[in-house]
Amino acid sequence: MRINSVKQVEQIYQKTSAKSNVASARKTSSDRIEISNIGRDLQVAKKAVSEAEDIRWDKVNAIKKRMKSGTYNVTCEEVAEKMADSYFSTTV
């Protein structure tokens, strides 16, 4: 038996086995993306938030009306509490 012949046979087997592995991998693999129900709900919520206005004009106009008529009264304690809540919620 000649050594050169063995090397040629090995090369042939290596080439064919590699081709068959690639071909079988192509046939069996397929990429798929699935979005969970939570993901879909999150997309719907994000869309609703992006479409909503930043300012609730109905509340703004109601407060303006109460301020003009003199019925909108806020104590200093309420203002201080809201300021503290706003400050501490943004720094944490």
Residue 3 has pLDDT above 60, yes or no: no
Which of the two residues, 52 and 16, has the higher pLDDT score? 52
- pLDDT at position 59 is 93
Domain span at 64: 54-92
Q: Yes or no: say if 72 and 66 are a contact pair by the CB < 8 Å rule.
A: yes
Residue 25 has pLDDT above 90, yes or no: no
Would 73 be classed as within a structural domain? yes
- Reported pTM: 0.37
- Mean pLDDT, the chain, integer: 81
Would 3 be classed as within a structural domain? no
| N residues, the chain | 92
- Count of structural domains within the chain: 1
- pLDDT at position 84 is 93
Would 63 be classed as within a structural domain? yes
Q: What is the pLDDT of residues 26-71, one digit of tens each?
A: 666 788 888 899 999 999 999 998 888 888 899 999 999 999 999 9
Give me the DSSP letters along 33-72: ----HHHHHHHHHHHHHHHS-SS-HHHHHHHHHHHHHT--
